[in-house]
């Protein structure tokens, strides 16, 4: 992510670190836009209130991992929140930082991957030094699917960019103007468009499983054993620990020793697009980034952890496409895996073909093209007025 610099920016992308989807969408859009326009990607929460932001992020990760039932209550409570009137005290500094960024960089288009920023923007662009910029187009990139929270739906924005047709239809049914909902797909890394996924007629020897564990320590061993013991020795497992490397490595190492030659451990990897395209199955949580990256690689998915609320829509999308299952109880992973691989893996091959028909590896470019079209319109309007 870029740090603020002194020059003006054509496009200002706003993100937040609450879950991986916002940052992933923002950074991928930045990659797709940067060759065509001066683009700046910033996190007003991290810049405006770094200490508080880190505390809230830790709380969010902890509650969604260890107390999802409590997160459901918090999530549902936001349906009644009027973000256009209620200014959360904790968001005052991020809003002030955003005002400062707009005054300094004078963007021509603003793109937000976090639902609260459009409410800030409405206040900022109507008052103060930035008020002369009130005609700046605001584009909101919705990082969830189908189950869309009120914070997204009620956002004061010019356009909503959404992940799929069902999400577009759901928002239209809830009263959003159809012409303002643009179906682009989730902006995955542009590199996905250059890769070739494993095909549905692959010999599956070995059958390669890619596993993204949650920070829950006992789950790494249980999930890994269940996956490896559900099938024969022709199945291999790649465990990507990411930020959980220190916390989970010793337990993942136990699995590697117990199943020699079948387990690979990776820390933080920049090659997730390659990994997803090289593997036959991904096992992970139902976050927007993970689910849509799996879709982009046409890689069937088993969900081992579901955060109530926004992730339920991502699971629903997977099920609608016949490309994945929920497997968050003991025995469910092995049951689904055996079913997928039975009869020469006919179920897996069917899932693979379904996802291949619906994959959107170029979604970042699709979204970028729309954003650039709004930039051109804005520039033309400004020229006409002069």
Residue 228 located in a structural domain: yes
242 φ/ψ sector (left φ>0, alpha ψ -120 to 50, else beta): left
The Cα 375–Cα 18 span in angstroms is 28
pLDDT digits (tens, 9 = 90+) for 79-115: 777 777 656 667 888 999 999 999 999 999 999 999 9
Are residues 19 and 48 both part of a single domain?
A: yes
The Cα 276–Cα 171 span in angstroms is 30
Q: CATH code at 348?
A: 3.40.50.2000
pLDDT digits (tens, 9 = 90+) for 188-235: 999 999 999 999 999 999 999 999 998 876 789 999 999 999 987 789
Residue with tokens 């930035």: 130
The Cα 262–Cα 246 span in angstroms is 22
Residue 227's domain comprises: 192-358
Residue 120 located in a structural domain: yes
Q: Are strands 235-240 and 301-305 parallel, antiparallel or unpaired?
A: unpaired
Residue 1 located in a structural domain: no
Q: Are 95 and 123 in contact (CB under 8 A)?
A: yes
Which ranges in the chain belong to alpha helices (H)? Answer: 20-33, 44-48, 50-66, 68-77, 92-105, 117-126, 150-153, 165-173, 217-229, 245-258, 272-278, 288-296, 310-320, 332-358, 363-385
Residue 124 located in a structural domain: yes
Are residues 158 and 224 both part of a single domain?
A: no
Are residues 223 and 322 both part of a single domain?
A: yes
Are residues 45 and 93 both part of a single domain?
A: yes
Q: Are 214 and 193 in contact (CB under 8 A)?
A: no
The Cα 46–Cα 200 span in angstroms is 43
Q: CATH code at 378?
A: 3.40.50.2300
Residue 3 located in a structural domain: no
Are residues 305 and 160 both part of a single domain?
A: no
The pair of three-digit structure tokens given for residue 184, joined into one six-digit string: 């682009």
For position 255, what pLDDT does the model report?
A: 96
The pair of three-digit structure tokens given for residue 290, joined into one six-digit string: 């993970």
Residue 114 located in a structural domain: yes
For position 75, what pLDDT does the model report?
A: 76
Are residues 110 and 86 both part of a single domain?
A: yes
Are residues 328 and 282 both part of a single domain?
A: yes
E-strand spans in 153-205?
159-162, 181-183
Residue 6 located in a structural domain: no
Are residues 292 and 368 both part of a single domain?
A: no
Are residues 24 and 143 both part of a single domain?
A: yes
The pair of three-digit structure tokens given for residue 247, joined into one six-digit string: 């916390």
Residue 90 located in a structural domain: yes
Are residues 291 and 250 both part of a single domain?
A: yes
Total domains in the fold of the chain: 2
Are residues 221 and 234 both part of a single domain?
A: yes
For position 129, what pLDDT does the model report?
A: 52
> Average of pLDDT values for 305-310?
86
* pLDDT band with cut points at 50, 70 and 90 for residue 371: very high
**3-state secondary structure at position 328:** coil
Is the predicted pLDDT of residue 126 greater than 90, yes or no? no
For position 217, what pLDDT does the model report?
A: 67
The pair of three-digit structure tokens given for residue 277, joined into one six-digit string: 């395209």
- Report the predicted TM-score, pTM, of the whole model to 2 decimal places: 0.91
Are residues 120 and 205 both part of a single domain?
A: no
């Amino acid at each position: 992510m870029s740090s603020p610099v002194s020059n003006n920016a054509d496009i200002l992308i706003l993100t937040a670190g609450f879950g991986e989807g916002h940052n992933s969408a923002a950074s991928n859009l930045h990659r797709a836009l940067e060759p065509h326009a001066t683009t700046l990607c910033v996190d007003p929460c991290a810049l405006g209130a770094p200490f508080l932001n880190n505390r809230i992020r830790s709380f969010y990760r902890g509650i969604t991992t260890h107390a999802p039932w409590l997160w459901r209550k918090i999530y549902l409570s936001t349906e009644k929140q009027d973000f256009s009137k209620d200014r959360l005290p904790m968001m005052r500094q991020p809003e002030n930082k955003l005002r400062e960024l707009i005054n300094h960089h004078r963007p021509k288009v603003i793109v937000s991957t976090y639902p609260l920023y459009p409410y800030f923007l409405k206040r900022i662009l109507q008052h103060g030094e930035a008020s002369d910029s009130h005609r700046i187009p605001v584009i909101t990139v919705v990082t969830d699917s189908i189950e869309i929270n009120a914070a997204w739906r009620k956002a004061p924005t010019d356009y909503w960019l959404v992940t799929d047709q069902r999400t577009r239809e759901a928002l239209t049914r809830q009263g959003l103007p159809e012409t303002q909902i643009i179906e682009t797909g989730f902006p995955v890394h542009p590199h996905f468009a250059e890769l070739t996924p494993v095909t549905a007629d692959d010999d599956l020897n070995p059958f390669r499983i890619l596993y993204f564990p949650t920070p829950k320590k006992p789950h790494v061993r249980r999930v890994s054993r269940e996956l490896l013991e559900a099938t024969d020795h022709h199945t291999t497992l790649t465990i990507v620990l990411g930020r959980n490397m220190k916390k989970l490595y010793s337990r993942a190492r136990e699995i590697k020793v117990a199943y020699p030659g079948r387990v690979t451990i990776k820390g933080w990897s920049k090659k997730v697009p390659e990994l997803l395209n090289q593997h036959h199955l991904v096992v992970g949580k139902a976050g927007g980034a993970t689910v849509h990256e799996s879709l982009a690689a046409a890689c069937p998915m088993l969900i081992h952890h579901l955060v109530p609320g926004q992730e339920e829509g991502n699971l629903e999308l997977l099920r609608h496409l016949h490309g994945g299952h929920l497997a968050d109880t003991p025995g469910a992973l092995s049951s689904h895996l055996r079913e997928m691989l039975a009869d020469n893996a006919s179920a897996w091959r069917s899932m693979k073909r379904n996802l291949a028909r619906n994959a959107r590896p170029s979604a970042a470019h699709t979204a970028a093209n729309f954003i650039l079209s709004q930039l051109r319109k804005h520039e033309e309007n400004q020229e006409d007025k002069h």
